[in-house]
Amino acid sequence: MNVSAIDYAVISQALHAAANEMGAKLIRSAYSTVLREARDGASALLDAAGNVVAQADLIPMQLGPMSMTIKPCLERHPIDTLEEGDFFINNDPFEGGQHLPDVFIFTPIFVDGKVIGFGASVAHHLDLGGGSPGLNSSATDVFQEGLRIPPSKYNMHRDWNGGAFERLVAANVRVPDLTIGDFNAQHSANAIGADRVRALCQKYGVDAVCEVMTEFVAYSERRMRHAISQIPDGVYYGEDAVDDDGTNDAPLTVKVKVEVRGDEIYIDFTGTCDQVMRNVNCPLSSTHSAALNVVKSVASESEIPYNEGIKRPIHIHVPPGTLLNPTHPAPVRARMEAAYRAFNAIMKALAKALPERVIASGFDTTAVICFSRHDSAGYHISLEIFGGGYGASAQADGCDAVDSPLSNCSNTPIEALDAQHDFIRVIAHRLEADSFGHGAQRGGSGFSRHYRVLRDDVKLELYADRFRIQPSGLFGGTPAQLGRCTVHRGSEQFEVSSKSSTWLKKGDVIELFCGGGAGYGEPSQRSRDAIHKDLVTGLLTPETARVAYGYTS
């Protein structure tokens, strides 16, 4: 390496800092609550070949396969054809994208007329058209899910800022002010990244910055290979299942074989069920992201930079036409449910090799609840994203009521919902006692969120999972509670299935319960002090303490 060790350290950390600054710009510039408050977006810096060099500490699921998303754009529009103001855009699940609301934008970084990298951002957009506001849970093909943007090149001066492409997007969405505002937040984030890289080039030289980009990726690869080499060689198997596809009760099985050979891992999902006609199919790039994230979290140390280098020792095979690699035109909006089962299956496989490094299954579900209403002022859409309880580990209890491991979204503050929507109100949000699995370490607590409907003709759309199949414990730990969604209407109540929609009336109260995580180790090994603490905080009831742990005060 021609760059000095000191300059390498400064430049590499500056690239990581720039990616994080991009993420902050993205969130703070956003218009919709799903991006501004829930923080459902991400950003990264890529090299000229489209390899991820540094990424923000935001949503891991969205970032892992970014190179898979930009490369179809580069195949159509090589970098030597780009000019100032150009940008790539892609949300096609069958061309390296994930699901349609996650729109990826890549902005080339020019220095002295040459492209040396890309600023990249992705945001979950509140509405991108489709068969229902915000979310179409009954879609049977991708065309019903919204506007599909193939890998394309546009120009900020000609096509955006009032240009033809911006008008096309605005004409196909229900809340154009919010959607276009969030697109502009992505452009702003990318511009910040480009400015920071150009400043580094001005100070250290283009060759030095490009060399550090290459070495930073190689460093992650070396560290990842070393981490994998510490796993015992062998073949390990895991299995989990999505509850159902929303049309019948049959579980959707995910099977995996994980083979460790020296400093490389081979992950094979042969045996996973076929793709289905509803939106729980998981596109290939999302499956890759799920697999990369679980291996990274279990096998390596957290300080290893997450970039293209960690992917190189990990080889993933997913048969086409299956739940984890569907073919066009399969619907994919709820792809996180299958992605989490891939995550869980690999985690169970690695538990046989690294029992001290894994976690039990958590609620591990992206629960998306969407309320919408149309009146003379247009469409009003509220969309929230929830997790549940984490699974326990050998060292600690699971985290209570947080987003699940592949995501990193925040709860939307109740005040933000009150300020923006006059047709629903949150009337309760609480941790739920006894919602977790038990063990030497307990799972994280689940929670409930209650809404009152303030207007007639409000539509509820939901997708979630873990309403039928409990999160399973490890090494004697017990399962956690299932999730549910209940509508209370006067003296009556009815259950809403995990992948469905229903019309609501003024006065209805909707209770969404997201379950907890499973336990790790035998409950008999849990400390008396830990049990007492859960009793004092109200997370554990005396009767459950007696039954699960044999504890009496």
Cα–Cα distance for residue pair 39/30, rounded to 1 Å: 9
377: burial class by Cβ within 10 Å (0-12, 13-18, 19+)? Answer: exposed
CA 107 to chain centre: 22
pLDDT of amino acid 59: 87
pLDDT score for 469: 98
Which residue, 420, 367, 386, 406, is CA-closest to 33?
420
Alpha carbons 170 and 125: distance in angstroms, whole number? 12
CA 205, chain centre distance (Å): 36
- Where are the extended beta strands (E) located within 275-359? 314-317
* Contact predicate 354/299, CB 8 Å: yes
> How many Å apart are CA 267 and CA 2, to the nearest integer?
36
Q: Are the CB atoms for 366 and 385 separated by under 8 Å?
A: yes
- Number of CB atoms found within 10 A of residue 115's CB: 18
Dihedral over alpha carbons 156, 162, 167, 168 (to 10 degrees): -20
Per DSSP, the three-state class of 181 is helix
DSSP 145: G
* Predicted pLDDT of residue 58: 87
> How distant, in Å, are the alpha carbons of 392, 444, 467 from that of 516?
10, 5, 12
> Alpha carbon of 320 to those of 141, 281, 291, 323: distances in Å?
17, 12, 16, 9
**pLDDT tens for each residue of the chain, 553 residues long:** 789 999 999 999 999 999 999 999 999 999 999 999 999 999 999 999 999 999 998 888 887 678 999 999 999 999 999 999 999 999 999 999 999 999 999 999 999 999 999 999 999 999 999 999 999 999 999 999 999 999 999 999 999 999 999 999 999 999 999 999 999 999 999 999 999 999 999 999 999 999 999 999 999 999 999 999 999 999 999 999 999 999 999 999 999 999 999 999 999 999 999 999 999 999 999 999 999 999 999 998 888 999 999 999 999 999 999 999 999 999 999 999 999 999 999 999 999 999 999 999 999 999 999 999 999 999 999 999 999 999 999 999 999 999 999 998 999 999 999 999 999 999 999 999 999 999 999 999 999 999 999 999 999 999 999 999 999 999 999 999 999 999 999 999 999 999 999 999 999 999 999 999 999 999 999 999 999 999 999 999 999 999 999 998 7
Q: Report helix, strand or coil for 378.
A: strand
Report which of 338, 316, 314 is spatially closest to residue 326, judged by C-alpha positions.
Answer: 338
Closest CA to 406 of 115, 62, 73: 62
Instruction: Give yes or no for a contact between 131 and 48, defined as CB atoms under 8 angstroms apart.
Output: no
Q: Which of 484, 491, 494, 475 is nearest to 449 (CA)?
A: 484
Contact 367, 477 (CB under 8 A): no
Q: Comparing C-alpha atoms, which of 65, 91, 99 is closest to residue 330?
A: 99
- Strands across the sheet containing 367-375: 378-386, 367-375, 458-463, 499-504
**In 3D, which of 166, 81, 93 has the Cα closest to residue 328?**
93
Helix, strand or coil, per DSSP, at residue 34: helix
End-to-end CA distance of the chain: 65
Q: What is the pLDDT of residue 168?
A: 98
pLDDT at 57: 87
Q: 3-state class of 369 per DSSP? A: strand
pLDDT of 62 reads 83
Beta carbons of 497 and 460 less than 8 angstroms apart: no
Here the contacts of 107-113 (C-beta below 8 Å, separation 24 or greater) are 107/187, 107/190, 107/191, 107/193, 107/194, 108/79, 108/82, 109/193, 109/194, 109/197, 109/198, 110/84, 110/194, 111/197, 111/198, 111/201, 111/206, 112/206
